[in-house]
């Protein structure tokens, strides 16, 4: 074997190694299509995205924070807090005589505005008072948990209009033999009749937001500054970036996404729950790390984070279809999380000189 072909094979191996997450996802899909009966169906695939939304959104939130070299432990409980406050407000508006649709919109918009507050406080603590992100966001975890439970003292967060359920569990596109194609509104068909339902509404909503953020991170000055801060803070300061201000924005973005996840939770389950996102923190951070980001900052993309989240979502859904208790999921996610860091060390990212060859 001469030197050139040898170089080519190593390049190929390196390229494949760098895309290990994608290959792993494919292996997962092939495995489950053989061993999980009924896995290969439109329904199951939509389920993967539908139940994966929390991790997609919290993962994206965590990604922005982790790129700057920080961490946000509060996203799970900020999500729970947002779910309770939006459910409470919407039901209060409806009971106050408002029509369901404006009540829903107003409740959601107000929640998303209030949802900026935890992030603002986190950001100020971290950038102005120099509190380590781990401590500041853990404090915020406690505070949003406490406030959420206090809000529940005078009754559970329920009594939402039926419209919430229609939106949260509805689909973007319907097709039935008689009435044909229709958007958003389920056509009237006889019970048990044939109908194709495509793309849940909330998946559309979540991916519009995630798509915008992917664009922001990759193509705008905001994204550039985010990477710059994570790569080298000193250099970022010298090149005139207002690092403190940018960090505040990043933590606000993170808690905004957590609140969005809370609102979507309310649309899905038609109730608010204080610990709605508590168990998703591990998954969210795991998704970011599996997606190749480094906790030391400066690395990571939205698309690869979604890939990481998909690996977890496919695993969870596949095990469920197979009828295996999801306890195994925790073990496998833990192993993948650790392996991700080790694999990324073996196949480091392309450097400038690699590209030139």
Residue numbers at the binding site for another protein (CB under 8 A): 71, 73, 125, 129-132, 134-136, 138-143, 145-147, 149-150, 153, 275, 278-279, 282, 285-286, 289, 295-296, 325, 327-335, 337-338, 341-342, 345
- 159 or 275: whose CB is closer to another protein? 275
**Distance separating alpha carbons of residues 199 and 59, to the nearest angstrom:** 21
- 203 or 311: whose CB is closer to another protein? 311
- 147 or 189: whose CB is closer to another protein? 147
Q: Which residues of 157-174 are buried (b: 16+ CB within 10 A; e: fewer)?
A: beebbebbeebbebbeeb
**Distance separating alpha carbons of residues 255 and 77, to the nearest angstrom:** 10
- Looking up tokens 């900020």 gives 78
CB of 133 to another protein, least distance (A): 10
Structure tokens at 295: 């906790």
Under DSSP, is residue 171 helix (H, G, I), strand (E, B) or coil? strand
205 closest CA partner among 56, 42, 44, 41: 56
- 185 or 338: whose CB is closer to another protein? 338
**Distance separating alpha carbons of residues 261 and 277, to the nearest angstrom:** 8
Q: In what order do the strands lie in the sheet with 171-176?
A: 180-183, 171-176, 196-200
CB of 291 to another protein, least distance (A): 13
**Distance separating alpha carbons of residues 217 and 66, to the nearest angstrom:** 13
Cβ 55 vs Cβ 283: under 8 Å = yes
CB of 310 to another protein, least distance (A): 18
- 200 or 291: whose CB is closer to another protein? 291
CB of 339 to another protein, least distance (A): 8
CB of 28 to another protein, least distance (A): 17
Give Cα 81 to chain centroid, integer Å: 17
- 71 or 203: whose CB is closer to another protein? 71
User: CB neighbours (10 Å) of residue 246?
Assistant: 18
CB of 38 to another protein, least distance (A): 24
CB of 298 to another protein, least distance (A): 14
- 134 or 303: whose CB is closer to another protein? 134
Cβ 267 vs Cβ 273: under 8 Å = no
**Distance separating alpha carbons of residues 338 and 245, to the nearest angstrom:** 33
- 36 or 141: whose CB is closer to another protein? 141
- 201 or 283: whose CB is closer to another protein? 283
**Distance separating alpha carbons of residues 14 and 348, to the nearest angstrom:** 8
CB of 238 to another protein, least distance (A): 23
CB of 137 to another protein, least distance (A): 10
**Distance separating alpha carbons of residues 139 and 141, to the nearest angstrom:** 5
Cα angle, residue 218 at apex, residues 215 and 221 outer, rounded to 5°:
95
């Amino acid at each position: 074997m001469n030197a050139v072909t040898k170089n080519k094979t190593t390049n190929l191996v390196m390229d494949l190694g760098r895309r290990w997450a994608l290959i792993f996802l494919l292996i997962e899909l092939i495995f489950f299509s053989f061993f999980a009966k009924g896995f290969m169906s439109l329904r199951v695939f939509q389920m993967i995205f539908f139940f994966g939304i929390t991790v997609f959104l919290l993962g994206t939130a965590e990604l922005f924070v982790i790129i700057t070299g920080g961490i946000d432990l509060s996203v799970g409980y900020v999500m729970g807090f947002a779910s309770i406050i939006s459910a409470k407000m919407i039901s209060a508006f409806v009971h106050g005589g408002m029509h369901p649709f404006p009540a829903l919109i107003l409740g959601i918009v107000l929640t998303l505005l209030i949802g900026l507050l935890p992030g603002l406080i986190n950001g100020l603590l971290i950038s102005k008072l120099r509190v380590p992100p781990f401590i500041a966001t853990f404090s915020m975890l406690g505070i949003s948990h406490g406030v959420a439970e206090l809000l529940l003292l005078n009754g559970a967060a329920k009594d939402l209009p039926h419209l919430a359920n229609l939106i949260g569990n509805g689909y973007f596109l319907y097709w039935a033999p008689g009435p044909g194609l229709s958007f958003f509104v389920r056509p009237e068909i006889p019970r048990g009749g044939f109908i194709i339902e495509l793309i849940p509404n909330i998946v559309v909503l979540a991916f519009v937001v995630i798509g915008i953020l992917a664009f922001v991170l990759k193509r705008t000055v905001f994204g550039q500054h985010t990477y710059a801060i994570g790569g080298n803070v000193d250099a970022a300061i010298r090149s005139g970036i207002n690092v403190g201000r940018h960090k505040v924005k990043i933590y606000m973005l993170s808690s905004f996404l957590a609140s969005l996840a809370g609102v979507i939770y309310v649309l899905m389950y038609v109730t608010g729950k204080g610990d709605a996102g508590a168990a998703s923190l591990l998954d969210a951070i795991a998704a970011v790390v599996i997606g190749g980001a480094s906790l030391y900052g400066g690395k990571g993309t939205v698309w690869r984070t979604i890939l990481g989240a998909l690996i977890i979502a496919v695993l969870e859904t596949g095990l469920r279809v197979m009828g295996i208790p999801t306890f195994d999921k925790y073990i496998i996610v833990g192993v993948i999380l650790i392996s991700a860091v080790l694999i990324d060390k073996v196949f480091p990212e392309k450097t400038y000189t690699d590209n030139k060859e």
